[in-house]
Amino acid sequence: MDLVNLLAITIAAGTSVLFATLGELLTERSGVLNLGLEGMMLVGALAAFAGTVGSGNLWVGVVCGMAGGAALALIHAFFTITIGVNQVVSGLALVLLGQGLASYLGRGYIGQVVPDSFKPVALPLLSDIPILGQALFRQDWLVYLSFIIVPLMSVYIYRTRPGLNLRSVGDSPATADALGISVPGTRYAYVCAGGGLCGLGGAYMSLAYIPSWNENVTAGRGWIAVGLVIFAMWNPWRALIGAYLFGFVDGLGFQLQAAKDPINLLGLNLSEINTFFLKMLPYLVVIAALVFSQWRLKASRKAAFSGPPAALGQLYLRRDKN
pLDDT, one tens digit per residue, over 138-167 is 999 999 999 999 999 999 999 999 999 999
Q: In 10 A of CB 297, how many CB atoms? A: 16
Coil vs helix vs strand at 289: helix
Higher pLDDT, 300 or 33: 33
Cα distance between residue 242 and residue 90, in whole Å: 26
Asked whether the beta carbons of 269 and 263 are under 8 A apart, the reply is yes
d(CA 250, CA 222): 15
Condensed to tens digits (0 to 9), the pLDDT of residues 44-55 reads 999 999 999 999
How far is Cα 293 from Cα 295, in angstroms, rounded to an integer? Answer: 5
Helix H or strand E encompassing 139: strand 138-139
Q: Quick one: pLDDT band at residue 277, thresholds 50, 70, 90? A: low
Res. 182: pLDDT tops 50: yes
Per-residue pLDDT, 258: 60
Percent of the chain scored above 70 by pLDDT? 88
Higher pLDDT, 266 or 35: 35
- At 88 the pLDDT is 95
Q: pLDDT at position 322, please?
A: 46
The C-alpha atoms of residue 209 and residue 143 are separated, in whole angstroms, by 10
Q: What is the pLDDT of residue 60?
A: 97
Gap between the Cα atoms of 239 and 221, Å rounded: 14
The continuous run of DSSP H or E covering 223 comes out as: helix 221-231
Element (H, E) at 24: helix 3-29
**Confidence band for 300, pLDDT divided at 50, 70 and 90:** low
The strand pairing partners of 139, in sequence order, are 121
- Cα separation, 41 vs 205, whole angstroms: 9
Average pLDDT in the chain = 88
d(CA 224, CA 21): 8
* Predicted local distance difference test score (pLDDT) of residue 5: 86
pLDDT of 307 above 80:
no
Is the pLDDT score of 1 beyond 60? no
Burial of residue 232 (CB within 10 Å: 0-12, 13-18, 19+) is buried
Exposed / middle / buried, residue 252 (Cβ in 10 Å: 0-12, 13-18, 19+): buried
